[in-house]
Amino acid sequence: MTDCLFCKIVSGDVDADVVMRTPGTVAFKDINPAAPVHVLVVPRRHIENAAFVEPEHAPEVAELLTSARAVAEMEGIASEERGYRLVFNVGPDALNSVPHLHLHVIGGRKMTWPPG
């Protein structure tokens, strides 16, 4: 997708604070962090959002999760005593603002539930 912000971050056309790259994913710091740790993990391939995921995307979706775990380990929040939240936003009610699938990895503080 030529006009997609996260595709441009994946290609390097737009700068981001990239913390990890894997064959199928790129992870970078959220520009407006909601917590001390807030990283977005995106598939290199453009997928609109979680509602567009099909069985053929299974390897990439699994890689989003393994990359998220690796990011959490790297950021020091993966221990049994700590932990983190993984979020996919879908659509306006969830405030989904960028139409390229991304997994939020949020942590470094105690979360509240339910989310606002």
| CB-nearer residue toward ligand AMP: 38 or 63 | 38
Q: Which part of the chain contacts ligand AMP (CB under 6 A), choosing from 18-26, 51-59, 77-85, 89-97?
A: 89-97
Active-site residue, from 38, 100, 102, 104: 102
Q: Which part of the chain contacts ligand AMP (CB under 6 A), choosing from 23-31, 57-65, 76-84, 108-116?
A: 23-31
Catalytic annotation present for 38: no
**Burial of 9 per CB tally in 10 Å (0-12, 13-18, 19+):** buried
CA 92 to chain centre: 18
- From ligand AMP, Zn ion, none, which one binds at residue 95 (CB under 5 to 8 Å depending on kind)? ligand AMP
Contact criterion met (CB below 8 Å) for 63 and 113: no
Question: Residue 71's CB: how many other CB atoms inside 10 A?
Answer: 25
Which residues form the interface with Zn ion (CB under 5 A)?
1, 4, 6-7, 46, 100
The residue ranges of DSSP E strands in 59-102, in sequence order, are: 84-87
Question: Residue 98's CB: how many other CB atoms inside 10 A?
Answer: 14
- From Zn ion, ligand AMP, none, which one binds at residue 86 (CB under 5 to 8 Å depending on kind)? none
Residues designated as active site: 102
